[in-house]
């Protein structure tokens, strides 16, 4: 074979190696995360500072890599065309296309990039110095190409309005997921980070305790009646109202009653008024994170939530805000009994529960999955399913369980009788979703309603279509 032909083949192989070098450099440098850079810094990698300087100017770096990559690819294509013509003649010049495309893709793009993404720290450490020297060498050419490219980009999309990289919430969530996979974070830490992001999207309406769960005390109660109410309800703070529950005079902290002469409070109404603390009102639409900062700045821990008409709709405490991130936190006013919502349990497996039981607690207690958008308690799920406030004795079948409304107080479902289904298998997972009112249910579906009049004889549950 002609020695010149061997030389051309040798130059072609060298150019192919350089093509792989530029392709892998792009992948290695741009795939590094801040986590990788921190690892390199802790390992005292001598190239970490140079890598950060290169990455600090991404447009300069990408133009440098593209210039080098395009130059060697074009040169390799020209040489391969000359070799093809010498070996097979000019009439077979199309053979160059069939040969070069797979070779460049396999050895100049795909293989180097795959290797670089798997070993990005090692590749970046090795290639940072050469690419930095090459960038300095072609500075004049790079600047000309960059300005020409920016001119045409400006014509098409306009001027760039902001500088720097924008870090989005999704990017951080992805980074957290990657950190858990690599062992930098444990699952509990990642859970807290996810909860913090969710917390930033919540308003007070999402986390407040509803008005129906607030223990109000009337200012017209006598001191003995007041003390009896406090002992019965066991709360630490009470809104005190006059005539209407929307007319709040102040907040009574039970610890303020310690050491106080109760007889004097009975004789002097003004003495009782002095015990009350100024109520703080906030709108339902206020972001929860803003209330958290307000609590810290003003040293508050209790707020009443009002609607646009001034009516009290709920309350939020610092404990409620913290529970959005850290989960259930016990307090002196909370019951430590895990079955605090269980009113009574019968020998046949039926349970009478407080309808204020949260859906999460209900699902965990009965090993089911009831999902109802917009409802947080089993009472809310039942209201959504019935489409109206049901009468005492009305029943519904969810997840194979018959739920009977045992009592309704002040336009609110207060107690529910739950009849769990027969366990076909210990490993069987039962799930259902509460549909909106008016959606028909086919026979055998997981949800059906049995409307039973109050005080009527209890008959076996029937499944009927519709809610």
More confident residue, 373 or 53: 53
Report which of 313, 392, 314 is spatially closest to residue 355, judged by C-alpha positions: 392
Mean pLDDT, residues 91-112 taken together: 83
In terms of domains, do 148 and 281 share one?
no
Please report the pLDDT score of residue 116 as a whole number: 92
For the chain, the average pLDDT equals 81
Instruction: Flag whether 365 is in a domain.
Output: yes
Mean pLDDT, residues 364-385 taken together: 84
Q: Is the pLDDT of residue 412 over 90?
A: no
| Structure tokens given for 412 | 């609110």
In terms of domains, do 23 and 143 share one?
yes
| Structure tokens given for 182 | 């690599």
In terms of domains, do 383 and 260 share one?
no
In terms of domains, do 87 and 41 share one?
yes
In terms of domains, do 190 and 240 share one?
no
pLDDT, tens digit, for every residue of 258-286? 888 888 888 887 888 888 999 999 999 99
Interatomic CA distance for residues 35 and 41, integer angstroms: 10
In terms of domains, do 133 and 173 share one?
no
Instruction: Flag whether 334 is in a domain.
Output: no
Instruction: Flag whether 16 is in a domain.
Output: yes
DSSP bridge partners of 344: 352
| Structure tokens given for 321 | 């805000």
Instruction: Flag whether 309 is in a domain.
Output: yes
User: Locate tokens 């001034």: which residue?
Assistant: 310
Interatomic CA distance for residues 248 and 229, integer angstroms: 18
| Structure tokens given for 358 | 């949260």
**Residue 377: which CATH number?**
3.30.465.10
- Domain's final residue, options 296, 326, 356: 326
Interatomic CA distance for residues 230 and 217, integer angstroms: 9
pLDDT, tens digit, for every residue of 176-221? 888 888 888 888 888 889 999 899 889 999 899 888 889 999 998 8
CB 73 within 8 A of CB 79: no
What is the band of 466 on the pLDDT scale with cuts at 50, 70, 90? Answer: very low
Interatomic CA distance for residues 432 and 362, integer angstroms: 13
In terms of domains, do 224 and 132 share one?
no
In terms of domains, do 431 and 385 share one?
yes
Greatest mean pLDDT range, 81-95, 185-199, 441-455: 185-199
In terms of domains, do 250 and 234 share one?
yes
Instruction: Flag whether 460 is in a domain.
Output: no
Interatomic CA distance for residues 54 and 61, integer angstroms: 6
Q: What is the dihedral of CA 120, 122, 123, 125, to 10 degrees?
A: 110
Q: What is the dihedral of CA 437, 441, 444, 447, to 10 degrees?
A: -10
Q: Is the pLDDT of residue 465 over 50?
A: no
Query: How many C-beta atoms surround the C-beta of residue 462 within 10 A?
Result: 12
Instruction: Flag whether 455 is in a domain.
Output: no
Please report the pLDDT score of residue 27 as a whole number: 92
Tell me which H or E stretch contains 66.
Answer: helix 58-88
Instruction: Flag whether 54 is in a domain.
Output: yes
Tally the domains of the chain. 4
In terms of domains, do 139 and 176 share one?
no
Domain carrying residue 194: 169-200
In terms of domains, do 80 and 19 share one?
yes
In terms of domains, do 305 and 227 share one?
yes
Instruction: Flag whether 83 is in a domain.
Output: yes
Query: How many C-beta atoms surround the C-beta of residue 127 within 10 A?
Result: 23
**Residue 289: which CATH number?**
3.10.580.10
Q: Is the pLDDT of residue 100 over 60?
A: yes
Running DSSP on this structure, what letter comes out for residue 307?
A: -
Running DSSP on this structure, what letter comes out for residue 106?
A: I
- Domain's final residue, options 128, 157, 186: 157
Task: Indicate the pairing of strand 401-408 with strand 395-398.
Answer: antiparallel
């Amino acid at each position: 074979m002609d020695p010149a032909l061997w030389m051309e083949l040798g130059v072609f192989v060298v150019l192919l190696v350089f093509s792989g070098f530029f392709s892998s450099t792009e992948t290695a440098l741009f795939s590094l995360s801040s986590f990788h850079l921190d690892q390199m810094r802790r390992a005292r990698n001598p190239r970490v500072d140079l890598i950060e300087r290169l990455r600090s100017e991404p447009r300069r770096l990408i133009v440098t890599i593209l210039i080098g990559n395009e130059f060697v690819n074009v040169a390799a294509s020209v040489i391969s065309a000359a070799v093809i013509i010498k070996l097979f003649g000019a009439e077979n010049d199309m053979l160059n296309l069939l040969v070069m495309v797979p070779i460049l893709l396999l050895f100049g793009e795909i293989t180097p990039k795959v290797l670089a993404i798997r070993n990005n720290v090692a590749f970046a450490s090795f290639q940072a110095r050469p690419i930095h020297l090459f960038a300095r060498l072609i500075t004049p050419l790079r600047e000309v190409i960059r300005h020409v490219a920016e001119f045409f980009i400006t014509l098409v999309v306009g001027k760039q309005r902001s500088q720097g990289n924008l870090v989005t919430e999704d990017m951080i969530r992805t980074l957290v997921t990657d950190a858990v996979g690599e062992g930098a974070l444990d699952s509990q830490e990642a859970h807290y980070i996810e909860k913090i992001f969710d917390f930033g999207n919540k308003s007070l309406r999402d986390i407040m305790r509803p008005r129906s769960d607030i223990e109000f005390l009337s200012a017209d109660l006598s001191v003995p009646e007041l003390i009896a109410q406090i002992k019965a309800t066991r709360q630490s703070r009470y809104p005190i109202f006059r005539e209407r529950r929307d007319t709040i005079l102040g907040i009574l902290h039970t610890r303020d009653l310690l050491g106080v002469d109760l007889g004097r409070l009975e004789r002097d109404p003004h003495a009782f008024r002095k015990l009350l603390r100024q109520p703080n009102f906030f709108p339902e639409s206020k972001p929860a994170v803003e209330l958290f900062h307000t609590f810290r700045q003003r040293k508050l821990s209790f707020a009443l939530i009002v609607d646009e008409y001034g009516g009290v709709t709920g309350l939020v405490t610092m404990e409620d805000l913290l529970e959005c991130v850290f989960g259930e936190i016990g307090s002196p006013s909370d019951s430590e009994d895990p079955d605090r919502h269980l009113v009574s349990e019968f020998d046949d497996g039926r349970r009478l529960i407080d309808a204020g039981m949260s859906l999460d607690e209900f699902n965990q207690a009965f090993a089911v999955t009831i999902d109802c958008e917009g409802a947080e308690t089993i009472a809310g799920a039942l209201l959504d399913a019935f489409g109206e406030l049901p009468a005492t004795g009305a029943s519904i079948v969810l997840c194979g369980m018959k739920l009977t409304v045992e009592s309704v107080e002040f336009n609110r479902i207060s107690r529910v009788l739950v009849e769990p289904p027969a366990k076909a298998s210990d490993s069987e997972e039962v799930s259902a979703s509460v549909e909106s009112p008016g959606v028909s249910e086919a026979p055998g579906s997981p949800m059906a309603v049995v409307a039973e009049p109050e005080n009527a004889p209890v008959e076996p549950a029937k499944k009927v279509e519709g809610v």
